[in-house]
Amino acid sequence: MSEPKKTFQELLEKHNVAPESLGDMTVLRPVYEEFMLQTPVPSDVSFVEADLGGVLALEASAPEATADATVLFFHGGVFAMGSPRSSANLAGLLSRQARAKVFSVEYRLAPENPHPAAPDDALRSYRGLLEKGISHERIALFGESAGGALALGTMVAARRPMRWRRNTAWNSIECSFLWRYWSS
């Protein structure tokens, strides 16, 4: 029998995080990772690292995933925490349900990388999929919490005409899903 999942508060107490350290991302990130990693990753989903236009991503592929469907996934974590690894369980389940390969983006985190680092990485990762030959018609964007803002911003940025390239595929996104959950 597995150990019951701990709340974030319980993990803060377990790691003796002092109240004055609650704004320190170097202290909070490992606690957040441990919190998120309590949910197991589906055992039949494969994960491999991928490069999307110079941005690292984790590619999740469930047995049901088809070659003609792709989801570009942006994890949550208030733009300052989280990673493709900590959201691998969600990426794996999304791959299964969408029957698509899911690319979970390792965008640069604040405060070390101030705005617009994360939105720039999001747009570069989308363009990286296009450069791999994936049609814009076969790419859906999915964002969890802060990642939803990145998905929305990527949709807007991708629609802007680019001075140096007139390829309409770079300016169109067919599908997106922005997910925000609330807890008490």
* Domain range annotation of the chain: 1-38, 44-179
Instruction: Report pLDDT for 169.
Output: 45
- Segment holding 96, helix H or strand E: helix 88-98
Instruction: Report pLDDT for 26.
Output: 92
Instruction: Report pLDDT for 158.
Output: 85
Residue-wise pLDDT for 92-139, tens only, equals: 999 999 999 999 999 999 999 999 999 999 999 999 999 999 998 899
56 φ/ψ angles, rounded to the nearest 5 degrees: -70, 140
Nearest to 41 by CA among 66, 65, 57, 60: 60
What is the token pair recorded at 175?
């599908």
Instruction: Report pLDDT for 33.
Output: 95
Instruction: Report pLDDT for 183.
Output: 41
Instruction: Report pLDDT for 67.
Output: 87
Inter-axis angle of helices 146-159 and 117-131, nearest 10: 60
pLDDT of the chain, 184 residues: tens digit per residue: 567 899 999 999 999 999 999 999 999 999 999 999 999 999 999 999 999 999 999 999 999 999 889 999 999 999 999 999 999 999 999 999 999 999 999 999 999 999 999 999 999 999 999 999 999 889 999 999 999 999 999 988 887 655 444 444 444 555 555 555 544 3
Instruction: Report pLDDT for 174.
Output: 52
Question: How much is the pTM?
Answer: 0.86
d(C-alpha 16, C-alpha 113), whole Å? 27
Contact 122, 153 (CB under 8 A): yes
What is the CATH number assigned to the segment(s) 44-179? 3.40.50.1820
Q: What is the CA radius of gyration of the chain?
A: 17
